[in-house]
Amino acid sequence: MDFISILSIFVLACFVGYYVVWSVTPALHTPLMAVTNAISSVIIVGALVASAEAGSAAAKYLGLLAVVFASVNIFGGFAVTERMLAMYKKKERK
């Protein structure tokens, strides 16, 4: 992909992010941080590329280490968000 298309995607995504995040209710700001944490670990894609390709042993092991860290975050982040969200309950109507 050429630089301008990538930049366009980035700029538009910033706007989407702006509007989506303002619509998040303040009560869920902590889960918001936990889930953004989990999804920013999509950087695991880069780590997988580094560990999957031949060419440099050093790059491979750096990549594998990054895969471990990113996985802690992905599993930990989504699991802790799930745990928090499960606690938010409405008043029981009797």
Partner 1 sequence: MMLSTIISMAAAGADGVAASPIVALAYLVAGVLFILALRGLSSPASSRRGNRMGMAGMAIAVATTLYTHDVVSLPEIVGAIAIGGVIGFVIARRIAMTDMPQLVAAFHSLVGLAAVLVGAAAYLNPGAFGILDALTGEIHNASRIEMGLGVAIGAITFSGSVIAFLKLNGNMSGKPIMLPARHVINLGTLAAILGLIAYFVTDQSPWVFWTVTALSFIIGFLLIIPIGGADMPVVVSMLNSYSGWAAAAMGFTLGNTAMIVTGALVGSSGAILSYIMCKAMNRSFISVIAGGFGAESGPSGGGAAAVDRPYKRGSAEDAAFLMKQADSVIIVPGYGMAVSQAQHALREMGDLLKKEGVSVKYAIHPVAGRMPGHMNVLLAEANVPYDEVFELEDINSEFGQADVAFVIGANDVTNPAAKTDKTSPIYGMPILDVANAKSVLFVKRSMGGAGYAGVDNEVFYMDNTMMLLADAKKMVEEIVKGLAH
Residues 33-62 that bind partner 1 (CB under 8 A): 33-56, 58-60, 62
When asked if residue 4 is in the footprint of partner 1 (CB under 8 A), the reply is no
Q: How many residues bind partner 1 (CB under 8 A)?
A: 82
Torsion angle, CA of 59/60/64/66, rounded to 10 degrees? 20
- φ, ψ at 55 (rounded to 5°): 130, -45
Which residue type sits at 50? A
Strand, coil or helix: 88: coil
Smallest gap from residue 51 Cβ to partner 1 (A): 6
Rounded to a whole number of angstroms, the minimum distance from the CB of residue 4 to partner 1 is: 11
Site for partner 1 contains 90 (CB under 8 A): yes
9: phi then psi, degrees, rounded to nearest 5:
-60, -45
Q: Residue 23 interacts with partner 1 (CB under 8 A)?
A: yes
